[in-house]
Amino acid sequence: MRKRYIRKDIMLNEVENDKLISDCKKSNLSYGEYFRKLLMEEQIKEKPGIEFYEVMKQLSKIGVNLNQIAYKANSTNNIDKNYYKKEAENWHKFAKEVKKKFL
């Protein structure tokens, strides 16, 4: 069964319709998703540009490298685990900031 079964039709003028279309394209939301977010007073953000995805790809590569360092550190005990932990925490914090900024 569908989650949403109540239908509402609305009337818009040309200016409102143009704004709706523009906002939905910018945010990559359907008209229904857009209206539900407005209704629930959720923040509507524009879809991130290519720069965001490039940054996230770099962060992912850094994360893989950190995991490899952690594996080596655990198996050989040659790496300062406290330093690694601090750097990993910094990376996680940075990743959250990037997501918050772009999403």
> What whole-number distance in Å separates Cα of residue 22 and Cα of residue 1?
32
Amino acid at 81: K
Whether 88 maps to a domain, the answer reads: yes
The number of helices, as runs of H, and strands, as runs of E, in the chain is 4, 0
pLDDT of residue 29: 95
Report yes or no on 15 lying in a domain. Answer: yes
Cα separation, 90 vs 97, whole angstroms: 11
Q: Classify 24 in phi/psi space as left (phi over 0), alpha (psi -120 to 50) or beta.
A: alpha
pTM: 0.54
The predicted structure's pLDDT at residue 1: 67
Asked whether residue 1 is assigned to any structural domain, the reply reads no
Would residue 74 count as lying in a domain?
yes
Q: Residue 97 falls within a domain, yes or no?
A: yes
pLDDT in tens, 31-72: 999 999 999 999 998 888 888 888 888 888 888 878 887 787
CB atoms within 10 A of CB 41: 6
Overall number of domains in the chain: 2
Domain contains 55: yes
Q: Residue 54: which domain range?
A: 50-102
Same domain, 20 and 40: yes
